[in-house]
């Protein structure tokens, strides 16, 4: 299963339902999910995917912190913080985004062996998914270290510069992925396998070949 991005919740939900319905009917014992070209997207789609593959309650983030500023307060971005704690310059933990999501009743939940392919082009929510799979020991990660680091910034804030009126987008929160540490590193795979330039030219996929060989060996 190759997932190139996480967008359009309704279509993605339909895709998951039809795909895992087929997987269950075909009794597929090993599932490979390829995130090597996935730059991320809406984390709510990752949450929905986890409802099909996770075997425990989950959350993409261990912690999320926002720095209180006059701009965020004025725009109503921090209304979820009690007024007494909206002190400009301080960091406030967002406990809503770090609350564990409970597994719902899902007859299509996949119980087989899971393998996740990751690489240097795996970013944002895709990197967060890799963190969850590794942190909760749900499957094996194969490929290269993700481009997205496990302690990262997100949740955008838009504003205009006063003179030029250029539109600016900045992050307003710092996130720590599941089991993530602030060492400027991505998610490191369980098995490091790289494709060379020559492999790409010859359309040889050593990462996928290694994964299939690992499945056959087991």
Tens of pLDDT, residues 73-107: 998 889 989 998 999 999 999 888 889 999 999 99
Write the CB contacts of 58 (distance below 8 Å, at least 6 apart in sequence): 47, 50, 100, 101, 103, 132, 136, 178
* Residue 171 CB coordination number (10 Å): 13
DSSP sequence for 94-163:
-SSTTSPBPPPP-TT---SEEEEEE-TT--HHHHHHHHHHHHTT-SEEEES--SSBSEEEEEEEEEE-TT
Q: Where are the domains of the chain?
A: 1-59+100-148+186-218, 61-99+151-180
Quick one: fold of 1-59+100-148+186-218? 2-enoyl-CoA Hydratase; Chain A, domain 1 (3.90.226)
pLDDT of the residue at 87: 94
Which pTM was predicted? 0.89
Give the rounded percent of residues in the chain with a pLDDT score beyond 90. Answer: 85
Q: Is the distance from CB of 39 to CB of 121 less than 8 angstroms? A: yes
Instruction: Please state whether beta strands 61-67 and 167-177 pair in parallel, antiparallel, or not at all (unpaired).
Output: antiparallel
């Amino acid at each position: 299963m190759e997932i190139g991005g996480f967008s359009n919740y309704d279509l993605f939900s339909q895709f998951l339902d039809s795909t895992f319905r087929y997987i269950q009917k075909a009794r597929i014992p090993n599932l490979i999910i390829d995130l090597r070209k996935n730059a991320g997207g809406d984390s709510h789609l990752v949450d929905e995917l986890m409802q099909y593959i996770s075997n425990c309650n989950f959350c993409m983030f261990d912690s999320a912190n926002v720095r209180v500023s006059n701009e965020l307060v004025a725009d109503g971005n921090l209304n979820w913080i009690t007024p007494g704690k909206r002190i400009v310059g301080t960091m406030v933990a967002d406990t809503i985004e770090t609350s564990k999501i409970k597994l719902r009743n899902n007859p299509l939940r996949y119980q087989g062996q899971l393998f996740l392919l990751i690489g240097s082009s795996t970013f944002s929510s895709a990197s967060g998914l890799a963190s969850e799979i590794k942190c909760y020991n749900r499957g094996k990660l194969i490929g290269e270290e993700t481009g997205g680091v496990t302690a990262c910034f997100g949740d955008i804030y838009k504003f205009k510069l006063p003179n030029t009126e250029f539109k600016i987008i900045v992050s307003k929160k710092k996130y720590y992925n599941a089991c993530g540490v602030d060492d400027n590193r991505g998610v490191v795979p369980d098995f490091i396998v790289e494709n060379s330039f020559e492999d790409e030219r010859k359309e040889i996929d050593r990462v996928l070949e290694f994964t299939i060989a690992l499945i056959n060996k087991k």
